[in-house]
Amino acid sequence: MGSSAKRKKEKQKDFQKPKLKVGKAKAKPENFTDTSFKAKAIVLNQQSLHVAAPTSSSQFSHHLSLLSSKSDSQRRDSLAHLTTSIASRPVNSPLPQPVSVMLSSLLPLILDANNNVRTALLKLLKTLPPSDVQDHVAQLLPYVRAGMTHLAADIRVSAVEILSWMVDAAGEAVVSCAGGWIKTFNCFLSVLGWHTEESARWSSNRASFGKSGSRGRPMVKVLGALAEFLEAGIGAPGAPVDDEQHEGPSSLAWPFPLCQTSQHMISESAAPYAYLNLFGQPRDEEGEMYETREDRYRVFSTRFLSAVERGLKSAREEGGELGRASSSVSKVLKAALSYGAGP
Amino acid sequence: MVKRKLGALEKVEADLPNLQHKIRRDPKSYIEDFRAQHYQYESHREIFMAAPSAATDTGIISLKELIDFISHVADCYPEILKDFPQQLIDMLMQHHLVLEPELREKIVGSIVLLKKKDLLDSATLLHTLFPILITTPSKTLRALLFQKILSELRQANSKTTNHKLNRTMQTVLFNLVTSDRTSSKGLWAIKITRELWKRQIWTDAKAVEVMKEASLSQNEKVIGGGVRFFLGGDKEREEMEDESSDEETLDIGRLRHTLQINKKSKKKARVAEKAMATHKKKERKKNQPHPLNFSALHLLHDPQGFADSLFTKHLQNSKAKLNLEQKLLVLQLVSRLVGLHKLHIMSLYSYFQKFLTPRQPSVTSFLASLAQASHDLVPPDVLEPLIQKIANEFVSEASAGEVATAGLNAIREICVRQPLAMDETLLQDLVMYKKSKDKGVMMASKGLLSLYRDVGAQMLKKRDRGKEASMGLRSGEKEQRRFGQQEVGGIEGLELLEKWKEEERRKRREEKGLPSDAEDDEDEEDDWAAWNVEDDDDSDDSGEWINVQSDVEIELSDSEDEGKDRPSKKAKQDEAEAKEKEKDDAAQEAKLSTLATTRILTPADLAKLAELRAQASVDSAVNGSRSRRPALPAARHTDDPLTAAEIEGLASLSAAKATREERIAHAREGKPDREEHKSKEGRRRERKQEQGKSTTNKEKARRKNFLMTLGKAKSKNKRSLVETRAVLKAHHDRQKRGGKRGNAGN
């Protein structure tokens, strides 16, 4: 009932403020539990103490393993360490680890959430020798495509950057590997939002769902990469002189009566019979390899030409930086079209 | 640089749920975004297919989330996603062994979701899930798949029975059981069939066939599963039905009452309406005719062959690896089949011979099985040595009370089914145990005595026969039946119906003022007019008899081969009318029996018949001197099994070994449980409170806070005489008036 004086006092006690004094420790709460303990010694069962500093190769593999670390900065730092150790190795000496080993931990980083990590990754990739990259394009491409269609715009942009590096380093391999042509092109169209007539007519950037990205001019970059990609895929074959130069010494390798023998020998590429697809999943039309320019041109003209032209038109109409970037694409396109299906 | 202000959505890196929500609202506008996510999924799938086991978590979005997202919006873009279901199925079928558990579960869930969205048909779904169910080593996946398969089958059969799907599924299960008889994979077939049987989704012979094959397999677990199904599946089904029927009994009156009292709101009205609708639906369901469900034992195609092969494969075969418990189960099934279908397996009885000793573990179960396996078409000379052996081994002065009780009960149960198996001298010996000090033995012996008073009184000594039996013997009415003799069948209670009709006609004629005995054809037509039960006002108010009606149907359905297993039962039940029959001459009896043959009984007739029969049984129970007789075991349903507990009988009573707790428990049995001793008033108050009703004024006054009453009590003391007088007067007046507000009537 609360009528008695004792009860009233008890009630009031609950609402009294504890008095704090300067220079004195705060009073412990009522339910405080003392968790401190004393120990005579702390024993570490396993310690790895070595007199010698770790070798550079062991450090390299250690940093490679750190790439799957949870912390962003750790991944970034490890990438930087790897980059410097690759870049600073003596000329013509082999890589500390083969590319195939490194790629398995590098690839997931293409889809990394952190911007800095992806930038560092691109730097690292750029230090790799192009000849090694050529053989692993088929492994790289799915990740790049996944990046290009990612919900986060930043990842899209950096994936496009990586793709343009790949085209730079191994253009022929990129466009001719399994699924490299149609699937990648589809991704381009979806990044640019050029798939359907309706979507191309939107005045604003259509690929706008999710975070729009902090780094500017994504469309311009994408258009630049598209131009490079088109050039690699269906660009007019360069000077035939180049071929002849290449053929010259090889024909010399064979003594006189043998001519064109090199055509009958096993190709020197890493996977000469990849097109047979002996061990993989059966491929559909999209996943097929389009090894020659004619094939690619045929596919392009039936599937993508109208969409690209429509998109280019709307980009040109928009003008500005975008219009200028689109002009480079249209230039490549014009050259390819004039060359036609091939000689 | 000033930081740009971010919208709430922009802060999120990759918000698939948000996109999903937007797509669902406007699929057309977001097609580009969806296409991008689909490419994303394709690339992730490619990465995954390259190395299914090493599925690393790639960045912010995993394949799992993409699959989830796409399957949720799959119905918006059927054109883009026409391959999607097949891709998921392939992924699951090929890699379910190495898949990461969460991803695996997600794929299963997505496939089921696609089925819900009609992008996949249920046959494909089942063909995907079932093979994985029986091959996967993962327990969680199995549980998930089992649940999904069951719910899919239930859902497919919810509106109408999906015969096609059921047939394919049953064929798959059948093949599973029969293809490899030694493997334990048949358990899944058993589990699924049993569950669906329980829920009455599968009630046909094909499901029973699956279980039959399962019980003939070579794996002990599968055998056990199949046999248990036959022994308990139907009971389980009945229990399930009962459970679902008395799930929630809505008190509609109370609902109305609360609606009147409580505050009215739209929501409450809606809830009440819904409750009313379900109530009405349930009522309608209750009035619908009960669907005919045959028990699994009746649906067997070839019971003789089945029982034969069960017996030779699992019991006679010395190489069978079953333990005693499993053997007992099989034996129970075999004996039930034999008893129910009146089969002949002659070697079965000699098989029992070696188990009939008191030292045999769980011998009562063996005895029960033996009794179950005997029926009136078993040659008496096959059963006689068994009875002799039971009597020698179990029933003697020296043996313990429980043992003798069990033996006597077993002998009685056998003789109920085949009275001819008893030897006269043995019977007279056994009947002498009615004088036993042991209560169990005494009761068992008396049971045997009363049985033979009915079925073979001349075998008893004269002083044991009793009045009725000796009178019956003298008049020649009670003759022992010969081997294979069948009772002439009829429709139970038909003569009651006949009598009732006669009375009705007489009444009507009297009303009309016609001579009561003359014939006319009018009432024939009246009967045809009252074809429907619903139209008939006689049966309209007797709603509770509708349950009984289902019995009539069953009775009618096997009336052709009537009396196969009921002769003794028939004899009992007809005894109520025995007196009347005695008076009636043979001619009238012939006339009675023609009722069913000369005219077709309308449903109204059948309802009346059921009512009359129930009335007759109630009458005989209330005022008949015959009601003293305990109900004989033969009177129960033939489908019910005989249990070991029945063989043990009152043995538990007989022994003084029962502990105090046991005795108390036994005394408590059958008495209504009463948790607490409370006053009537207290219980009433509790009940009212439970129903959400208010307290009385008296109660309120009693509960009133003491301090609140204090002031008035104090002031009462200080009243002057005048004041006191005024108060008393006012009280008196008020009483006279009948309360404060006065009584309106006065």
**Structure token digits, residue B346:** 């002659």
Average pLDDT of the segment spanning A73-102:
88
Domain count, chain B: 3
Residue A7 maps to a domain: no
CA dist B411 and B430 (Å) reads 10
Domain count, chain A: 1
Model confidence pLDDT, tens digit, residues A8-19: 888 887 788 777
Residues of B in contact with A151 (CB under 8 A): 13-16, 19, 36-37, 40, 61
Q: What is the pLDDT of residue B735?
A: 87
Rg (CA), chain A: 31
Residue A335 maps to a domain: yes
CA dist A287 and A295 (Å) reads 14
Q: For residues B548 and B467, state if they share a domain.
A: no
Q: What is the pLDDT of residue A307?
A: 85
Residue A102 maps to a domain: yes
CA dist B215 and B306 (Å) reads 9
Residues of A in contact with B66 (CB under 8 A): none
Question: Is B594 part of the contact surface with chain A (CB cutoff 8 Å)?
Answer: no
Q: What is the pLDDT of residue A189?
A: 85
Q: How far is A59 from chain B (nearest CA, A)?
A: 24
What are the Cα distances from residue B246, in Å, to A330, B249, B253? Answer: 77, 6, 18
Name the average pLDDT for chain A. 79
Q: For residues B465 and B549, state if they share a domain.
A: no
Residue B252 maps to a domain: no
Tokens 């929630």 locate to: B248
CA dist A274 and B130 (Å) reads 36
Which region among B230-244, B283-297, B361-375 has the lowest average model confidence (pLDDT)?
Answer: B283-297
Q: How far is B134 from chain A (nearest CA, A)?
A: 26
Average pLDDT of the segment spanning A290-297:
82
Contact (CB<8Å) A146/B44: yes
Q: Closest partner residue to B14 among A68, A139, A152, by Cβ?
A: A152
Q: How far is A192 from chain B (nearest CA, A)?
A: 10
A45 or A3, which is more confident: A45
Contact (CB<8Å) B39/A155: no
B23, B25, B39: best to mutate for the A interface, most A CBs within 10 A: B39
Contact (CB<8Å) B43/A146: yes
Residue B574's CB: how many other CB atoms inside 10 A?
14
Give the model's confidence band at B558: pLDDT under 50 very low, under 70 low, under 90 confident, else very high.
very low
Look at the alpha carbons of A94, A100, A104, A106 in this order and tell me if their dihedral is positive or negative: positive
CA dist A340 and A334 (Å) reads 10
Q: Which of B227, B237, B148 is nearest to B201 (CA)?
A: B237
Q: What is the 3-state secondary structure (H, E, C) of B183-238?
A: CCCHHHHHHHHHHHHHCCCCCCHHHHHHHHHHHCCCCHHHHHHHHHHHHHHHHHHH
Residue A296 maps to a domain: yes
Give the DSSP per-residue string, B96-148: TTTS-HHHHHHHHHHHHHHHHTTSS-HHHHHHHHHHHHHH---HHHHHHHHHH
- In sequence order, the 6+-apart residues with CB closer than 8 A to the CB of A224 are A164, A325, A328
B16, burial (CB in 10 Å: exposed 0-12, middle 13-18, buried 19+): buried
Which region among A80-94, A282-296, B161-175, B644-658 has the lowest average model confidence (pLDDT)?
Answer: B644-658
Buried b (16+ CB within 10 A) or exposed e, A170-184: bbebbbbbbbbbbbb
CA dist B460 and A259 (Å) reads 122
Question: Is A340 part of the contact surface with chain B (CB cutoff 8 Å)?
Answer: no
* A283 neighbors A277 (Cβ within 8 angstroms): yes
Residue B273 maps to a domain: no
Residues of A in contact with B79 (CB under 8 A): none
Which region among A177-181, A200-204, A228-232, B395-399 has the lowest average model confidence (pLDDT)?
Answer: A200-204
Residues of A in contact with B42 (CB under 8 A): 145, 183
CA dist A265 and A246 (Å) reads 16
Q: Which of B623, B604, B616 is nearest to B495 (CA)?
A: B616
Tokens 């009280």 locate to: B731
Contact (CB<8Å) B39/A151: no
Residues of B in contact with A211 (CB under 8 A): 10-13
Q: Closest partner residue to A190 among B32, B44, B707, by Cβ?
A: B32
Question: Is A186 part of the contact surface with chain B (CB cutoff 8 Å)?
Answer: yes
Residue B409 maps to a domain: yes
Q: What is the pLDDT of residue B547?
A: 43
Question: Is A216 part of the contact surface with chain B (CB cutoff 8 Å)?
Answer: no
A68, A75, A150, A205: best to mutate for the B interface, most B CBs within 10 A: A150
> Looking at chain A, which residue has its C-alpha nearest residue B94?
A281
Q: What is the pLDDT of residue B687?
A: 87
Contact (CB<8Å) A145/B61: no
Average pLDDT of the segment spanning B610-632:
62
Q: How far apart are the first and last CA of chain B?
A: 93
Q: For residues B389 and B470, state if they share a domain.
A: yes
Residue B450 maps to a domain: yes
Give the model's confidence band at B584: pLDDT under 50 very low, under 70 low, under 90 confident, else very high.
very low
CA dist B69 and B71 (Å) reads 6
pLDDT reading at B520 higher than 60: no
CA dist B410 and B390 (Å) reads 8
Contact (CB<8Å) B19/A183: no
Residue B613 maps to a domain: yes
Contact (CB<8Å) B42/A112: no
Torsion angles phi and psi, residue B2, rounded to 5:
-75, 135
> Looking at chain B, which residue has its C-alpha nearest residue A184?
B39
Q: How far is A193 from chain B (nearest CA, A)?
A: 7
Tokens 């039946």 locate to: B481
Which region among A10-19, A223-232, B568-577 has the lowest average model confidence (pLDDT)?
Answer: B568-577
What are the Cα distances from residue A209, in Å, to A150, A197, A221, B38? Answer: 10, 19, 18, 14
Residue A125 maps to a domain: yes
Model confidence pLDDT, tens digit, residues B314-334: 998 888 888 999 999 999 999
Q: Closest partner residue to B32 among A145, A152, A193, by Cβ?
A: A193
Question: Is B707 part of the contact surface with chain A (CB cutoff 8 Å)?
Answer: yes
* B20 neighbors B73 (Cβ within 8 angstroms): yes
Give the model's confidence band at B635: pLDDT under 50 very low, under 70 low, under 90 confident, else very high.
very low
* Helix ranges restricted to H, B558-659: 567-574, 578-583, 586-598, 603-623, 644-648, 651-654
> Looking at chain A, which residue has its C-alpha nearest residue B4?
A214
**Structure token digits, residue A121:** 């990754």
Model confidence pLDDT, tens digit, residues A207-223: 444 444 444 467 888 88
Residue A46 maps to a domain: no
Give the DSSP per-residue string, A118-149: HHHHHHHHHHS-HHHHHHTHHHHHHHHHHHHT
pLDDT reading at A238 higher than 60: no
B16, B18, B32: best to mutate for the A interface, most A CBs within 10 A: B32
The most confident of the ranges A18-27, B231-240, B702-711 is: B702-711
Q: How far apart are the first and last CA of chain A?
A: 105
B448, burial (CB in 10 Å: exposed 0-12, middle 13-18, buried 19+): buried
Buried b (16+ CB within 10 A) or exposed e, B152-175: bbeebbeeeebeebbeebbebbbe
Model confidence pLDDT, tens digit, residues B705-727: 989 989 888 988 899 999 999 99
Q: What is the pLDDT of residue B312?
A: 93
Contact (CB<8Å) B58/A111: yes
Model confidence pLDDT, tens digit, residues B86-112: 999 999 998 888 888 888 999 999 999
What does the angle CA B383 – CA B384 – CA B390 come to, to the nearest 5 degrees?
90
Residues of A in contact with B37 (CB under 8 A): 149, 151
B733, burial (CB in 10 Å: exposed 0-12, middle 13-18, buried 19+): exposed
Residues of A in contact with B86 (CB under 8 A): none
Q: Which of B369, B351, B454, B361 is nearest to B410 (CA)?
A: B369
Residue A250 maps to a domain: no
CA dist A170 and A132 (Å) reads 9
* B250 neighbors B278 (Cβ within 8 angstroms): yes
Q: What is the pLDDT of residue B173?
A: 93
**Structure token digits, residue A274:** 């990849």
Give the model's confidence band at B394: pLDDT under 50 very low, under 70 low, under 90 confident, else very high.
very high
Residue B542 maps to a domain: yes
* A113 neighbors B60 (Cβ within 8 angstroms): yes
Identity at B284, one-letter amino acid code: R
Residue B602 maps to a domain: yes
B389 or B534, which is more confident: B389
**Structure token digits, residue B251:** 């008190």
Contact (CB<8Å) A1/B707: yes
Contact (CB<8Å) A187/B39: yes
Which CATH number goes with the domain that contains A143? 1.25.10
Question: Is B250 part of the contact surface with chain A (CB cutoff 8 Å)?
Answer: no
Tell me if the pTM is above 0.80. no
Contact (CB<8Å) A150/B14: yes
Model confidence pLDDT, tens digit, residues B496-510: 888 888 888 888 888
* A294 neighbors A342 (Cβ within 8 angstroms): yes
Chains A and B form CB pairs within 8 A to the count of: 92
What are the Cα distances from residue A13, in Å, to A10, A30, B419? Answer: 5, 14, 90
Give the model's confidence band at A131: pLDDT under 50 very low, under 70 low, under 90 confident, else very high.
confident
Residue B105 maps to a domain: no
CA dist B10 and A212 (Å) reads 7
Q: Which of A42, A78, A77, A76 is nearest to A60 (CA)?
A: A78
Question: Is B14 part of the contact surface with chain A (CB cutoff 8 Å)?
Answer: yes
Residues of B in contact with A199 (CB under 8 A): 31-32
Q: For residues B392 and B461, state if they share a domain.
A: yes
Give the DSSP per-residue string, A289-310: ---SHHHHHHHIIIIIHHHHHH
> Looking at chain A, which residue has its C-alpha nearest residue B29?
A199
CA dist A174 and A183 (Å) reads 11
pLDDT reading at B631 higher than 70: no
pLDDT reading at A155 higher than 60: yes
Residue A200: domain span: 72-84+95-239+283-339
Residues of A in contact with B48 (CB under 8 A): none
Residue B412: domain span: 374-474
Contact (CB<8Å) B40/A146: yes
Contact (CB<8Å) A151/B31: no
pLDDT reading at B281 higher than 60: yes
> Looking at chain B, which residue has its C-alpha nearest residue A212?
B10
Contact (CB<8Å) A179/B50: no
Q: How far is A57 from chain B (nearest CA, A)?
A: 25
Q: Which of B346, B400, B347 is nearest to B378 (CA)?
A: B346
Contact (CB<8Å) A209/B30: yes
Model confidence pLDDT, tens digit, residues A104-122: 888 888 888 888 999 999 9
Residue A268 maps to a domain: no
Tokens 């006054």 locate to: B701
Model confidence pLDDT, tens digit, residues B535-547: 444 444 444 444 4
